[in-house]
Amino acid sequence: MPLLVVGSVALDSVETPSQRRDNILGGSAVYFSYAASFFTSVRLVGVVGDDWPPAHTEMLRARNIDTAGLQVIAGAKTFRWRGKYLENMNDRETLDVQLNVMHDFTPVLPESFKRCRYLFLANGCPSVQMKVLDQMPGAELVMADTMDLWINNDRQQLLELLRRVDGLVLNDSEAKLLTGDENLVRAGHRVQELGPRFVIIKKGEHGAMFFSKHETYVLPAYPTKQVVDPTGAGDSFAGGMMGYLAEQASFDPKTLKEAMAYGILVASFTVEDFSLDRLQQISREDLRHRMGEYQRMLAF
């Protein structure tokens, strides 16, 4: 069934220890949408300026991603991010951020989008995320992402948001920051106690941890031989996961675990090249093949 995502659409400039790419397609909603499109149709809500290349929109549409919610602001510029990865390819420095159209972005959902039963609130200001929620009273599964900026500067609104979502995705440092607990297991449970039915902590090259009232487990990352660009891996993980849940029209415990595995595998492809370049080269069959390898890796 259709899946709705609201988040950033961007033009990125990325520097790694060996390569550099300027003005490439990026943004949380873009990575999420493309990853989810391997499993289900996607409806994207975001905003760009008139410097946005129309070819990017056409590419998304070709993936069964409905861009009716993508606003184009005349005379304005698209959100831009420039970053540099360090030698370990895990740590990065943000060199420049130009919010541009994102500064005043207030999502207005097309009427057809409001009937989606699955909603992902990509990383963004909690007050904006709640404005989206207000337009989606019938959503059955709502997941959200967040970051240290909102934990530090908008904690009260973030806590209000957490009481309204079913699932939260965040990384390990953000979980520690939100709870003040350096132990990830305790931190995961404490985040879950703030409101979400389940919490997923991303651990980069070490996989992801799942927490709910009834179970806790860890899934390792797929052993990718060459990491070219980690940008968008977390959003691809979320997109693959929620895309699978929407396809299965279920979020029971077994399906959630399968969905997490697919999220990890989509992300493992994303990091093998810049932007969406690697994802554009693979098919659902490639994901099935890698899933078989992953399952064999975990069997003992």
What secondary structure does DSSP assign to 178-241, as a single string? HHT-S-HHHHHHHHHTTS-SEEEEE-GGG-EEEEESS-EEEEPPP--S--S--TTHHHHHHHHH
Cβ atoms of 11 and 23 closer than 8 Å: yes
- Whole-angstrom distance, CA of residue 213 vs CA of residue 265: 26
Cβ atoms of 266 and 287 closer than 8 Å: yes
Cβ atoms of 34 and 269 closer than 8 Å: no
Q: Quick one: pLDDT at residue 91?
A: 85
Q: Quick one: pLDDT at residue 11?
A: 98
What tokens appear for 243 in the block? 């895309």
Hunting for tokens 């098919």 — which residue is that?
283
Q: Quick one: pLDDT at residue 64?
A: 95
Q: Quick one: pLDDT at residue 180?
A: 97
Q: Quick one: pLDDT at residue 218?
A: 97
Domain locations in the chain? 3-298
pLDDT digits (tens, 9 = 90+) for 81-108: 999 999 988 889 999 999 999 999 999 8
CATH class of 3-298: alpha beta
Q: Quick one: pLDDT at residue 216?
A: 96
- Whole-angstrom distance, CA of residue 115 vs CA of residue 133: 12
Nearest to 130 by CA among 144, 147, 111, 112: 144
**Strand order of the sheet with strand 42-49?**
65-73, 42-49, 3-6, 118-121, 141-145, 167-171, 198-202, 208-212, 216-219
Q: Quick one: pLDDT at residue 188?
A: 97
What tokens appear for 13 in the block? 């400039």
CA distances from 198 to 24, 146, 194, 235, 286 (A): 34, 15, 10, 18, 29
Q: Quick one: pLDDT at residue 145?
A: 96
Tally of CA atoms within 13 A in the half-sphere of 85 that contains its CB: 21
Cβ neighbours for 134, distance < 8 A, ≥ 6 positions apart = none
Which positions of the chain have pLDDT values less than 50?
A: none
Cβ neighbours for 221, distance < 8 A, ≥ 6 positions apart = 203, 204, 205, 206, 207, 208, 264, 267, 268
Question: pTM (2 decimals)?
Answer: 0.96
